[in-house]
Amino acid sequence: MANGVNIGSEVTAAPYEIVWNTTGLTSGSYSITAVARDLAGITGTSTAATVALDATPPTITATNPANNAVSVTTDTSPPLPSVNPSNQEP
């Protein structure tokens, strides 16, 4: 869950992970939690992990130096952190 909103389908087999599609989200802090369910149907929620999302698109600069060579420089944000519930303390 991100800020209390479900961000994926329930995962019932290993590896217990999901991919969080952040397309369309605004930059800011998000509180991520994982919910676990045992065979009796009892659920528990992990301690929240806070992640910062920078939704700023990457900058691409193209130049045309001497002899018609092309140079392209990109500046991309670092990859988003991965939250794996198996790494959380009980």
In a domain, 2, yes or no: yes
More confident residue, 48 or 83: 48
44, 35 in Cβ contact below 8 A? yes
- 63 token code pair: 């130049």
pLDDT digits (tens, 9 = 90+) for 10-48: 898 888 888 888 888 999 999 999 999 999 999 999 999
In a domain, 76, yes or no: yes
In a domain, 6, yes or no: yes
In a domain, 90, yes or no: no
Residue 71: the pLDDT is 64
- Tally of domains within the chain: 1
Domain that holds residue 61: 1-85
In a domain, 41, yes or no: yes
